[in-house]
Chains A and B, each alone.
Chain A
Amino acid sequence: MNNLLDDYALSSPLRHSNNWIKLTVVAAGVLGGVSAASPVTPLFIAVCMGFAAVFLAKVPVKFYLKLIALPLGFAATGSIVILFFFGTGYEIASIDTLGVNLAIRSQGLNMAVLVMARTLSGMCCLFFLALSTPMVELFSVLKTSRVPDVVIELSMLIYRYIFVLLEVAVSIKFAQTVRLGYKDLMSSLHSTAMLAGTLFIRSWEQGERLYIAMDSRCYDGKLAMFSSKKPVKAFELVLTSIYIISIITISFATKNITIV
């Protein structure tokens, strides 16, 4: 629970590269993946982002693979539905269960594979951003892109308090666990509710104190932020351009490739 991706981002070697170029890479990957017509482009993007995360951002391979396995579970359940219910075309396989004939058709299979590939590429892009860019850097991006001040302010305070509350939650949970608070379903229900209730009260008090502290320091609705200038390196620019161009060419060249 206290293993947030942000921790990796803060110690990542890519932390000090330009934010906009990282965002461009991720945006190109996300948009390229989601609008791809064949599974080849998303897989290419996934492999590129995976390499970037492991070799450029120096994320441990084992940790990275575990990370990817989690969201794919959701994608798999959704894809099963698509597999059986979507599309036309000739039948590849069919199962008779309880008098209902479930058939996998060629279009359905293609779509299911495509959606799985898209999800994989999207997750890899997201992980690349999460593992290389700490939230603090994204706030200055938000500020230059004219997001309303209230939202940025709220996001920054939420960000700060996530860590404060997380610490409280983890220690309460430890204390409950060693007192056998999670030994069966009923007691874990009670423990979870008690943890959440206490956390609510704690956070409320925390918030009142925060207001007093900020008010006494003349808070007027704007927190000043320091954003250091990070020039784009030529190497990064070349790599990004090659990446984007290859996404475009691959997605045009493999437009008509399907599984069956």
Chain B
Amino acid sequence: MHVMEGFLPGPWWQIWFAISLPVIIYGIYKLNELIKDKRDLLPLLAVAGAYIFILSSLKLPSVTGSCSHPTGTGLAAILFGPAISAVLGLIVLLYQALFLAHGGLTTLGANVFSMGIAGPVIAFIIYKACTKAGLNFYIAVFLACALGDLATYVVTSIELALAFPAQIGGVLTSFKAFATIFALTQVPLAIIEGAITVLIFKYVIQVKSDVLIKLNVLSETGLRKIKEMTT
């Protein structure tokens, strides 16, 4: 869910830029390190970025009938980890602003924070925690993506609520108001995105499972277990 250009007044858009910047710098540092080590990763990351862009321009079947699209952040976080997802998220959000007019330039900081940082971090933590707890891989993916999506939407609501506090009850009241209004589209969307990501992984495991081992998403024993379970 993108915050549109001009929606956030100063000083809030500057603040979100200031918060996002260190994470992006850390992500670029991580990226540099990774590429120095394995040079063949850059083209793959590039294609992954393009993939996320295309994914986010696909229209999802939505219950409420509004125009909704997957964010792809959960997928990116599971595949590449949150630091690199942040850099990919920055580039993809910039392209979305310039190609599809989703989001904006002054609100880029806020959007990067909600969609490129908060969402992937939550998704990644949940995915790791679920696999540690020995949960089924598909359930872990579903929870990570759905909750990552919800985290994005909650953070966006917080961003808007901080910028426009209510006169009675302050930030908390306006947060509730923004969250309720956006929940109409965002909650079904999160569930659908979780389900679709599960199906994507199911499909990838069937056709080209070695990719997931290369990216350290799954161990070989884990993969064998999943394959045995489905057959």
Contacts and interface: CB of A to CB of B under 8 A. Distances in A.
A231 to B, nearest CB: 25
B61 A189 contact: yes
Contact of A123 (B6, B51, B204): B6
A200 B197 CA distance: 11
Interface residues of B, number: 75
A67 B101 CA distance: 8
Nearest to B6: A122
Interface string B195-226: 11011111110011001000000000000000
Nearest to B61: A188
Contacts of B101: 5, 67, 70-71, 123, 126-127, 130
B95 interface: yes
Interface residues of B, dominant DSSP: helix
Interface in B153-189: 160, 164-167, 173-174, 177-178, 181-182
Interface residues of A, number: 84
Interface string B49-81: 111011101111101000100100000000000
B130 interface: no
Interface in B26-64: 28, 31-32, 35, 39-40, 42-51, 53-55, 57-61, 63
Interface residues of A, dominant DSSP: helix
Interface in A8-32: 30-31
A201 B167 contact: no
Contacts of A201: 203-204, 207-208, 211
Nearest to A184: B61
Given A86-B166, A87-B167, A150-B32, A125 B54 contact: no
Interface stretch (B7-15, B119-127, B136-144): B7-15
B35 A150 contact: yes
Given A120-B6, A203-B50, A221-B42, 13 more contacts: A4-B99, A30-B6, A78-B160, A86-B174, A115-B9, A122-B105, A130-B101, A154-B31, A194-B199, A195-B58, A196-B55, A197-B200, A203-B48
28 contacts: A5-B100, A5-B101, A67-B101, A71-B4, A71-B101, A74-B4, A81-B164, A81-B178, A81-B181, A86-B174, A108-B167, A115-B9, A122-B7, A122-B105, A154-B31, A155-B91, A155-B94, A158-B53, A158-B92, A159-B95, A160-B50, A161-B50, A161-B51, A193-B196, A193-B200, A197-B204, A207-B47, A215-B40
Interface of B: 2, 4-10, 13, 28, 31-32, 35, 39-40, 42-51, 53-55, 57-61, 63, 67, 70, 87-88, 91-92, 94-95, 97-102, 104-106, 160, 164-167, 173-174, 177-178, 181-182, 192, 195-196, 198-204, 207-208, 211
Interface of A: 1, 4-6, 30-31, 33-35, 42, 67, 70-71, 74-75, 77-78, 80-82, 84-88, 105, 107-108, 111, 115, 118-123, 125-127, 129-130, 135, 138, 148, 150-151, 153-155, 157-162, 164-166, 169, 182, 185, 188-190, 192-201, 203-204, 206-208, 210-211, 214-215, 221
